[in-house]
């Protein structure tokens, strides 16, 4: 983890500064600044456009009762792409622009999804889940002040959870 943070906060800015200096020397200061601003603006525009399309896809899959796992990973990659594109510099812009290419995102999403373990059973529009109820500290003894009686809490049905709900269809 330390190495990753070291690369993110020390090495990448040094690389960005050196590349900006070289491009500035080649093109001049104002064209370099213009390219950095233009890439941030275009990147934000395309990230917004693709992000909205991904959000619509998530909503469509959720309406069908499907798990939108690839769309969620795509949305996270678009978020990273937006951060990289808004960060001043050419190296981060290259990585951010590469994340805007759908085929690159699909390859990364496929490799990420191999490492995700989903333990959910979805049937129709209803997700089945099991919950454990009960007192975690049942077997532990607590000390009570002298001359006091422990408070006894009446046990209700352990399998019943009381509450109100409203079904929206």
| Residue range 77-106, pLDDT digits in tens | 888 888 888 888 899 989 988 988 889 888
116 phi/psi in degrees, rounded to 5: -95, 130
For 19, counting Cβ atoms within 10 Å of its Cβ (0-12 exposed, 13-18 middle, 19+ buried), the class is middle
Longest CA span, the chain: 86
- Asked if 55 contacts 75 with a C-beta cutoff of 8 angstroms, the reply is yes
Show the low-confidence residues of the chain (pLDDT under 70).
116-161
Helix (H, G, I), strand (E, B) or coil at 126: strand
Take residue 19 and report the two structure tokens written for it: 């590349």
Q: Can you give the pLDDT at residue 55?
A: 86
Record the tokens describing residue 109, joined without a space: 């999403």
| Per-residue model confidence (pLDDT) at position 129 | 46
Any idea which residue has 């064209």 for tokens?
31
End-to-end CA distance of the chain: 46
89, 19 contact by CB (below 8 A) = yes
pLDDT given for residue 19 in this prediction: 93
**Structure confidence at residue 22 (pLDDT):** 94
Distance CA 52, CA 56 (A): 6
pLDDT attached to residue 130: 45
Residue with tokens 């990273």: 80
What secondary structure letter does DSSP report for 150?
P
């Amino acid at each position: 983890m330390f190495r990753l943070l070291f690369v993110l906060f020390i090495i990448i800015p040094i690389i960005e500064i050196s590349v900006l200096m070289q491009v500035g020397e080649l093109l001049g200061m104002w064209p370099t600044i213009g390219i950095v601003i233009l890439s941030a603006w275009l990147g934000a525009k395309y990230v917004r456009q693709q992000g909205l399309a991904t959000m619509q896809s998530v909503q469509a899959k959720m309406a069908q009762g499907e798990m939108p796992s690839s769309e969620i990973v795509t949305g996270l990659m678009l978020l990273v792409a937006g951060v990289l594109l808004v960060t001043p510099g050419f190296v981060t812009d290259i990585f951010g622009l590469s994340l805007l290419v759908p085929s690159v995102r699909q390859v990364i999403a496929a490799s990420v999804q191999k490492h995700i373990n989903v333990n959910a059973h979805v049937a129709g529009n209803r997700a089945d889940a099991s919950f454990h109820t009960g007192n975690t500290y049942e077997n532990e003894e607590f000390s009570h002040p002298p001359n006091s009686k422990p408070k006894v809490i009446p046990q209700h049905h352990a399998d019943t959870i009381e509450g109100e709900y409203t079904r929206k269809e």
